[in-house]
Amino acid sequence: MTAAGLAAGVQAAQQVKMETSCGDIVIQLDAAAAPKTVANFIGYVNSGFYDGTIFHRVIQKFMIQGGGFTPDMTQKTTKPPIPNEADNGLSNLRGTIAMARTPDPHSATAQFFINTVDNPSLNHRSKTPEEWGYCVFGKVIKGMEAVDSIAKTPTTRQGMYTDVPVEPIIIKKAMVVKEKKQTK
């Protein structure tokens, strides 16, 4: 696909619906603020990458993280990392979706998290490794009750991983959905 075709596809793909074992979550994406991040996320959605993955890290009163592991905690192979667009003016507020990463600010690939509370400590403050922040690229517009249900699930340690839900919370399918036009 050409760059122009990809850009047009990203602009047209403003919402993603995740069908999870706890209910549906619809996310409004912000391609104007985070174009590379949204294009990356849409690429994973359209390839079916997230289908059958789990929310593998759940921390009450913080966030729910998914998009990289199968139910048996096998990590999926991803595309190369993307540049961090956390300096886009968006904040890690309750209901926003952001890219997960390692301590390297530019290491985000497929994993994402949904903030269950306001998390100002995750916002961009400066272009240093310690204060780069986590890139917000959209917000939940439907299904916060599913997010809150996931956030309350009991967790355990599984091998080297902590905060893993005792019962897997599965992303059955992630798909791009068209915005519904408002009628008068």
Domain residue extents for the chain: 14-177
pLDDT tens digit string along 17-51? 999 999 999 999 999 999 999 999 999 999 999 99
- Find out whether 184 and 19 touch, Cβ atoms under 8 Å: no
Residue showing tokens 């390297």: 104
pLDDT tens digit string along 137-158? 999 999 999 999 999 999 999 9
Specify the pTM.
Answer: 0.91
CA angle at residue 110 from 84 to 96, to 5 degrees? 65
- CATH number of 14-177, picked from 2.40.128.110, 3.30.420.40, 2.40.100.10, 3.40.718.10: 2.40.100.10
E strands, 30-129, are 53-59, 63-66, 96-99, 112-115
Give residue 156's identity as a one-letter amino acid code: T
Helix axes 35-47, 3-12, angle to 10 degrees: 80
CA angle at residue 42 from 37 to 45, to 5 degrees? 130
Q: Which residues pair with 66 in a beta bridge?
A: 55, 112
Task: State how far the Cα of 106 lies from the Cα of 142, in Å rounded to an integer.
Answer: 29
